[in-house]
Amino acid sequence: MTELDVASLVEGDRVHSRVYTDPAIFAREQERLFRRVWLYLCHESQIPAPGDFVQARLAGVPVLAVRQQDRGIKALINRCAHRGAQVCQHESGRALRFRCPYHGWTYAADGRLVGLPLRAGYAPGFALEEHGLKSVPRIAAYRGFVFASLAAEGPGLMEYLGPMSSAIDDMVDRAPAGEVEAAGGVHRHAFAGNWKLQMENLQDYAHPAFAHESSNVAARPDAHAHAELDEEDIMAANKASDLAWMEQAGVTAYPGGHSYIGALPLEQPMPAEAERAYLAALKARHGEARASEILAVQRHVAIVYPTLAFQSAMQQLKVIVPVRVDYTEVYVYCFRLKGAPPEYHRAAVTFVNAANAPASLILSDDLEIYARGQRTMTEAPGWLRFGCGLGRDVADNRGGIKGPGYSELAMRNQFATWSRYLAGPMPRAA
C-alpha cells in the first residue's frame, strides 16, 4: 500500500470503512503506530517484589514486565533466543528463573541466559551473554503507571502524554495516601471487531440512548433505594434524552489523539460515614482547597491514544489490545485508593462489574454493535461520517479543543492522529 492510499482513506469528517477491515492496514498500524508510541505495560503495584512478573502484549509482541533486584522494571520479550518458543506461559507470578519449555534454555529475571542444556554441543566460543531475552528499548513510569515503547527513540513519556497525564493525576490525587494499587484482578473480554471501534465508542455520548435502549428499558424505574451505584443507575443516566447534560459534559481533544469526555449526570452514593472519613483524610493530606479542586475534576472517560482509557473517578483502567484487524481484546483493571475507607474500593468494584465486566448488559450492547458493524463494513464497504459537532469547537485552556458532549470531535482527532502516524512522519505529542 502506498502512503497516498492510506491518506486517501481519511478525508476531513469522512473515513473509509477499509480502515477497520483491511488486514494490510492493520499490519501498517502495528508498524507505524503501535511500535512507535508509548503503550501501557502494567502498574507497579502488580509486581512489587523482585522476580514478580506480569504479561503484556505491545504491538502484537508478547512481553514480560519483570521487577528487578534493583527495584527497577524490565520489559523482556517473551520469545526464546534459541528457536523462538514462548518462554513463560503464565499471566503473572514470581520467578527466579524463566525456563523455556522446549529445550530448557533458562534465563534470569533480567533476561540473561544462565542455563544452556547440552552445552558441550556448542562451539567453545558460544557466548551466553549474546543470547539473552531481548528487552523493550524504552520503559518509563508516571505515578505508578508503567509504559513501554518498542521504539528506541521518540518523545519521552511525559511529552507523549501531554495534558493527558492529568488522567493519571485525576485517579492518584483522589487517594488520601497519594498512591493507588491494582486490586480486584482483571476483567477480560474480546469482540469480533476492529480496535478503533472501541476507542471511538469510549468518547461517544450520542449512542447510549439508542445502543443501550434495551438495557435502559430493563432498568428499575426507582433507582433510589440502594446504597451503591449499579448498572441500573448507569443506564438510567444514559437514558437522558435532553441534550443539556451532554452540552455541559463536553468532549475535549488534544494533540496526539488524546481526549476526554465530561462526567455522566450521576453520583456515586456513598455511606455518610465513609464519605466523611474520606474527605477528612483527603483534606488532611492536601488541605481543604486542594481537596475540593481534586474532587471537582469531572470526567467520564479519558483516552490516552491509541489504546488506553481511564475512568479515573471510579478507579478503572481499560487496556485495549488489537489482536487482528477484526478481533480485539480488552483488559479492565480496578484500582484501590490508598488511605480511603473500604467502601470506596467496594464502589469501584461494583462499578467495574456493572459497566465493564463481560456480563454487563451495557458492555454487551456495545460489543454486539462492534461485531455487527465489522461484518457490515466488510460486506458493504463505503464511507463513514464523523461530522457531528463540526463548527462547534472552541479552544480549551490546555492547548486542546472542546466541543459539546455529543460531538464526534474526539473521533476526528483520533483519525487525524492516525493518519499522521500511518501516512506521514512521526507526530510529536504536543
Instruction: Pick one of ligand FES, Fe ion, none as the site partner of residue 366 (Cβ within 5 to 8 A by kind).
Output: Fe ion
Q: Which is nearer to ligand FES, 37 or 87 (CB)?
A: 87
Could you tell me where the DSSP H helices lie in 288-402? 288-296, 342-356, 361-379
Q: Which is nearer to ligand FES, 83 or 97 (CB)?
A: 83
Nearest approach, Cβ of residue 211 and Fe ion (Å):
5
Q: Which stretch binds Fe ion (CB under 5 A): 73-81, 155-163, 255-263, 366-374?
A: 366-374
Instruction: Pick one of ligand FES, Fe ion, none as the site partner of residue 383 (Cβ within 5 to 8 A by kind).
Output: none
The footprint of Fe ion on residues 292-321 (CB under 5 A) is none
Of 12, 6, 7, residue with least CA distance to 386: 12
Site string for ligand FES, 64-103 (x = CB under 6 A): ----------------x-xx-x--------------x-xx
Instruction: Pick one of Fe ion, ligand FES, none as the site partner of residue 100 (Cβ within 5 to 8 A by kind).
Output: ligand FES
The CA distance from 306 to 319, in Å, is: 10
Nearest approach, Cβ of residue 372 and ligand FES (Å):
41
Which strands, in side-by-side order, build the sheet including 106-108? 97-99, 106-108, 113-115
Residue 55 grid cell:
504479561
Contact 128, 119 (CB under 8 A): no
The CA distance from 302 to 317, in Å, is: 10
Nearest approach, Cβ of residue 80 and ligand FES (Å):
3
The CA distance from 135 to 140, in Å, is: 13
Site string for ligand FES, 102-141 (x = CB under 6 A): xxxx------------------------------------
Instruction: Pick one of Fe ion, ligand FES, none as the site partner of residue 63 (Cβ within 5 to 8 A by kind).
Output: none
Question: CA neighbours within 13 Å on the CB side: how many for 401?
Answer: 19
Instruction: Pick one of Fe ion, ligand FES, none as the site partner of residue 103 (Cβ within 5 to 8 A by kind).
Output: ligand FES
Instruction: Pick one of ligand FES, Fe ion, none as the site partner of residue 82 (Cβ within 5 to 8 A by kind).
Output: ligand FES
Closest residue to Fe ion, Cβ-based?
366
Contact 309, 19 (CB under 8 A): no
**Total binding residues for Fe ion by CB under 5 A?**
1
Ramachandran area for residue 214 (φ above 0: left; ψ -120 to 50: alpha; else beta):
alpha
Instruction: Pick one of Fe ion, ligand FES, none as the site partner of residue 105 (Cβ within 5 to 8 A by kind).
Output: ligand FES
Phi, psi of 211 (to 5 degrees): -65, -30
Q: At what angle do helices 272-286 and 342-356 cross, to 10 degrees?
A: 110
∠ CA 159-305-59 to the nearest 5 degrees?
100
The contacts of residue 250 (CB under 8 Å, 6+ apart) are: 261, 262, 402, 403, 404, 405
Q: Which is nearer to ligand FES, 83 or 398 (CB)?
A: 83
| SS3 state of residue 45 | helix
Nearest approach, Cβ of residue 169 and ligand FES (Å):
42
- The single residue among 52, 170, 232, 366 that binds Fe ion, judged by CB under 5 A, is 366
Contacts with ligand FES by CB under 6 A lie at 80, 82-83, 85, 100, 102-105
Contacts with Fe ion by CB under 5 A lie at 366
